[in-house]
Chains A and B, each alone.
Chain A
């Protein structure tokens, strides 16, 4: 497998209201030879495009909603109080387990072109709450870096967030596309994060993403350049031999990464809304992600039977702690008793988990 390649864009769909947005102009400049179509914002999408997600079309949209929103988390489990900066929806990579397959009801890579013009509103909001720490990420509804070479998001987001003392921006990715940020002058308050999974899962379930080694080498380069990094073991998948294969990831981390500048490592086992299963099986009929023992959780999502989650969390976190004891390990959407049984302590509630992660920010990235 060669190094990760840039994604092919087949066409650019420009909604009329987005035509004059600064980001639209930049994107068109970046892709001068790609066919463009003007479209209305209310035009109905083709069923096939919705189903297949039309991942090779960019749709430029003048977004009318709120750009900064709290992560909805999930009810009855402990969540981290993250803020999502909604730069766009959908992703050019194709992970079998991706929740967007049932969440998104519109096709194409939807990019919000008035983001830069709205940053002042976000800045004002952050500045008006100096007592809070905003942990903000762009990697919830899309990959933070996969389309950066087209959108240039980091050119304006890095300086914007770097200059603020009560927030951090986390760029979460499965790519190795760090070339554009590595030479940036704006590294303060910026966290570059990678989702990690075993080579088997990456090969079988994470189409078009960077290999495990590419991700970790990219993280090392970012660390060397002065960025703080983070890792997300999410979704953790249970299969015969999982332990040895997750061990390989940690060995690679040990080999390439300086653990002292890791702000946090999250762990979350695979969970899904029941409806997502049918979308996934349609697009990925040979997937093995449903092989485990799933039960209905307190939030209605399917998740591994609790003793299986505890076993995975306990083994993985114990191994990570053996590498370095101060990694800021936390669980994504888990219950108090699972925290206790797996890690030996629990934040008890979402508010305390928020405080714990805010303290990690203060510790690893002092203002």
Chain B
């Protein structure tokens, strides 16, 4: 753990061009909004000066305050008062310093969590990261999760932004890593242009991958298929309707036999002229053999009448056969 006496620093006025402003070894900020910060700085100045470390090239590395520096650059500042940490301050302590500085005043997005974990790998073992740091970041402590977060760094900026603003599920991002660049950008575009729940994204990406594997075609070709394009360009549908329609199209393509069976079953039941409020529910995926009857009623008399009517539907005996012979 970092000791208090290591935090001694000197406040120095630094010319901004002497600071290395590429996201360095301690940076854990991604896709932040500078406007509120700029407004605050304009009004009150930099309340908490950034912390820097002198690096061997005689310029400065940003330890903490990366966003503040970005804000003052946009405001046209030439120089800024910064804390310069002593040369003896280790890189690992600098990383922990910035982590703690951030932890106390904000939440990290998933890309930032990945950046932190990535930077920690330079200093400590996987086991230590899993045990001591993943819980702090609110990530389940296991190596699969660590691998998932570390892998986010390989993704394109556009995809990272989708993850950071929670338009794209991190689980889906894990799968995207193993997909061709153009294909994953296409998927990112599909998922961010409409309003998909994370569960829908998860199911859909698997279907798309599996269709591509089975049919030997590219993911791009599947997403660009005529029927999906028609939905995407349909001006009468809203976004949730479009998502539902695309899910339906892909489900039918991924599970043709099951989808056909479901369709036949629905058609068969609708031809039965069942009393109002009576439903027949097939076993999930038609795997079991037990069907369920659901009757909605208000009073006993109502129930009796519906059951009596039900007994007079002769086609009931065909129920399990509707979907067979697909």
A295 touches B287 (CB 8 A): yes
- Is B214 an interface residue when CB atoms closer than 8 A count as contact? yes
A291 touches B289 (CB 8 A): no
A291 touches B214 (CB 8 A): yes
Residue of A305, A335, A337 near B285 (CB, 8 A) is A305
- With a cutoff of 8 Å between Cβ atoms, the chain B residues found around residue A297 in the complex are 287
B257 touches A307 (CB 8 A): yes
B126 touches A47 (CB 8 A): yes
Chain A, interface residues (CB within 8 Å), range: 10 to 19
- Is B314 an interface residue when CB atoms closer than 8 A count as contact? no
- With a cutoff of 8 Å between Cβ atoms, the chain A residues found around residue B261 in the complex are 305, 307
- Is B221 an interface residue when CB atoms closer than 8 A count as contact? no
- With a cutoff of 8 Å between Cβ atoms, the chain B residues found around residue A306 in the complex are 285-287
A305 touches B257 (CB 8 A): yes
- Is B178 an interface residue when CB atoms closer than 8 A count as contact? yes
Residue of B126, B213, B258 near A291 (CB, 8 A) is B213
Residue of B126, B258, B289 near A293 (CB, 8 A) is B258
With contact pairs A47-B143, A305-B258 given, residues A295 and B285 touching in the complex (Cβ less than 8 Å): yes
- Is B288 an interface residue when CB atoms closer than 8 A count as contact? yes
Residue interface mask B258-287, A partner, CB < 8 A = 1: 100100000000000000000000001111
- Is A285 an interface residue when CB atoms closer than 8 A count as contact? yes
CB-nearest residue of chain B to A290: B210
- With a cutoff of 8 Å between Cβ atoms, the chain A residues found around residue B257 in the complex are 293, 305, 307-308
With contact pairs A47-B143, A285-B178, A307-B261 given, residues A296 and B214 touching in the complex (Cβ less than 8 Å): no
Interface of B is mostly: helix
- Is B326 an interface residue when CB atoms closer than 8 A count as contact? yes
A47 to B142, CA, bound (A): 11
- Is B256 an interface residue when CB atoms closer than 8 A count as contact? yes
A308 to B285, CA, bound (A): 12
B284 touches A288 (CB 8 A): no
CB-nearest residue of chain A to B286: A306
Residue interface mask A302-338, B partner, CB < 8 A = 1: 0101111000000000000000000000000001110
A293 touches B255 (CB 8 A): yes
Residue of B143, B213, B286 near A288 (CB, 8 A) is B213
A296 touches B285 (CB 8 A): yes
Chain B, interface residues (CB within 8 Å), range: 20 to 34
B287 touches A293 (CB 8 A): no
- With a cutoff of 8 Å between Cβ atoms, the chain A residues found around residue B285 in the complex are 295-296, 305-306
With contact pairs A288-B214, A298-B288, A337-B289 given, residues A293 and B256 touching in the complex (Cβ less than 8 Å): yes
Q: How far is the CB of A160 from chain B (nearest CB, A)?
A: 42
- With a cutoff of 8 Å between Cβ atoms, the chain B residues found around residue A285 in the complex are 178
Q: How far is the CB of A340 from chain B (nearest CB, A)?
A: 10
A293 to B260, CA, bound (A): 12
A305 touches B210 (CB 8 A): no
- With a cutoff of 8 Å between Cβ atoms, the chain A residues found around residue B286 in the complex are 305-306
- Is B324 an interface residue when CB atoms closer than 8 A count as contact? yes
A259 to B188, CA, bound (A): 56
- With a cutoff of 8 Å between Cβ atoms, the chain B residues found around residue A293 in the complex are 254-258
- With a cutoff of 8 Å between Cβ atoms, the chain A residues found around residue B287 in the complex are 295-298, 303, 306, 335
CB-nearest residue of chain A to B175: A281
- With a cutoff of 8 Å between Cβ atoms, the chain B residues found around residue A296 in the complex are 284-285, 287
A290 to B213, CA, bound (A): 9
With contact pairs A296-B284, A296-B287 given, residues A305 and B255 touching in the complex (Cβ less than 8 Å): yes
- With a cutoff of 8 Å between Cβ atoms, the chain A residues found around residue B258 in the complex are 293, 295, 305
Residue interface mask B212-253, A partner, CB < 8 A = 1: 011000000000000000000000000000000000000000
B255 touches A307 (CB 8 A): no
With contact pairs A47-B126, A290-B213, A296-B284 given, residues A307 and B326 touching in the complex (Cβ less than 8 Å): yes
Q: How far is the CB of B320 from chain A (nearest CB, A)?
A: 10
Q: How far is the CB of B100 from chain A (nearest CB, A)?
A: 28
A292 to B284, CA, bound (A): 18
With contact pairs A293-B258, A295-B258 given, residues A307 and B324 touching in the complex (Cβ less than 8 Å): yes
- With a cutoff of 8 Å between Cβ atoms, the chain A residues found around residue B143 in the complex are 47
Q: How far is the CB of A277 from chain B (nearest CB, A)?
A: 9
A355 to B284, CA, bound (A): 31
CB-nearest residue of chain B to A308: B257
A336 to B289, CA, bound (A): 10
Quick one: which of B126, B284, B287, B326 has the most chain A CB within 10 A? B287
CB-nearest residue of chain B to A278: B144
A298 to B283, CA, bound (A): 10
Q: How far is the CB of A96 from chain B (nearest CB, A)?
A: 13
- With a cutoff of 8 Å between Cβ atoms, the chain B residues found around residue A307 in the complex are 257, 261, 324, 326
- With a cutoff of 8 Å between Cβ atoms, the chain B residues found around residue A308 in the complex are 257
CB-nearest residue of chain A to B259: A293
Q: How far is the CB of B43 from chain A (nearest CB, A)?
A: 50
- With a cutoff of 8 Å between Cβ atoms, the chain A residues found around residue B255 in the complex are 293, 295, 305
Query: Which residues of B, 197-215, contact A by the 8 Å Cβ criterion?
Result: 210, 213-214
A308 to B324, CA, bound (A): 11
- With a cutoff of 8 Å between Cβ atoms, the chain A residues found around residue B178 in the complex are 285
A297 to B261, CA, bound (A): 16
A297 to B213, CA, bound (A): 23
A308 to B326, CA, bound (A): 10
Q: How far is the CB of B249 from chain A (nearest CB, A)?
A: 16
- With a cutoff of 8 Å between Cβ atoms, the chain B residues found around residue A290 in the complex are 210, 213
Can you pick out 29 interface pairs between chain A and chain B where the beta carbons lie within 8 Å of each other?
A47-B126, A288-B213, A290-B210, A290-B213, A291-B210, A291-B213, A293-B254, A293-B255, A293-B257, A293-B258, A295-B258, A295-B284, A295-B285, A295-B287, A297-B287, A298-B287, A298-B288, A303-B287, A305-B257, A305-B286, A306-B285, A306-B286, A306-B287, A307-B261, A307-B324, A308-B257, A335-B289, A336-B289, A337-B289
Q: Identify the 4 closest CB pairs spanning chains A and B, nearest first.
A: A295-B285, A291-B214, A293-B255, A305-B258
Given contacts A293-B257, A335-B289, 9 further A-B contacts (CB under 8 A): A295-B287, A296-B287, A298-B287, A303-B287, A305-B261, A307-B257, A307-B261, A307-B324, A337-B289
A residues with a Cβ closer than 8 A to B are 47, 285, 288, 290-293, 295-298, 303, 305-308, 335-337
